Amino acid sequence: MAQNCQRLVALQNSAVEQANNMFNGPDNRFAIVVCNDATEVVYGQFYAQMQFQRTRSFSVPTAGLSPVNAAIQPDNRARTTGMIAAEDENNDIFSIKLRTRFTSGEAVDYSSEQKLPPGKSAVFQDQGFTVGIVRLGKGTRR
């Protein structure tokens, strides 16, 4: 396994990208990995599929994160939820907001805004967590 959260998240991002390229995945899907830097345990791997067609002129496409059943080193003592929004889909800018709740009842909120063209990934750190996000696709909109 990896030596730390940063490396573990980068390895998982790479694995998801490679699998998506093998199976010709569309560019409106996202994979997210959340790792707690203090314990180096991945709390979860998540999936989101965004519909880019706007329903109203004042809304932005948004998708909730769904847990992937095959998480790495799953830790059932914490629960992470979140959402991703296309803040500026023409410029591939997305906002991700997450909350991890521990068994103690404490909740930690963290967020980031990322430029993510199809087929690209990003890693960010916030509030003691390392988060990886991959926008699936090979760089072409379908």
User: How does pLDDT run across 4-61, given as a tens digit for each residue?
Assistant: 888 888 888 888 888 888 887 777 889 999 988 887 666 788 899 887 766 566 678 8
CA distance 83 to 74: 20
If one counts every other C-beta atom within 10 angstroms of the C-beta of residue 66, the result is 12
Assess contact for 2 and 16: CB atoms under 8 A: no
**What does the pLDDT look like over 94-132, one tens digit per residue?**
999 999 988 788 899 999 999 999 888 899 999 999 999
Assess contact for 94 and 112: CB atoms under 8 A: no
Model pLDDT, residue 108: 93
pTM for the full model? 0.81
Assess contact for 121 and 12: CB atoms under 8 A: no
CA distance 112 to 57: 24
Model pLDDT, residue 40: 64
Model pLDDT, residue 142: 37
Model pLDDT, residue 59: 77
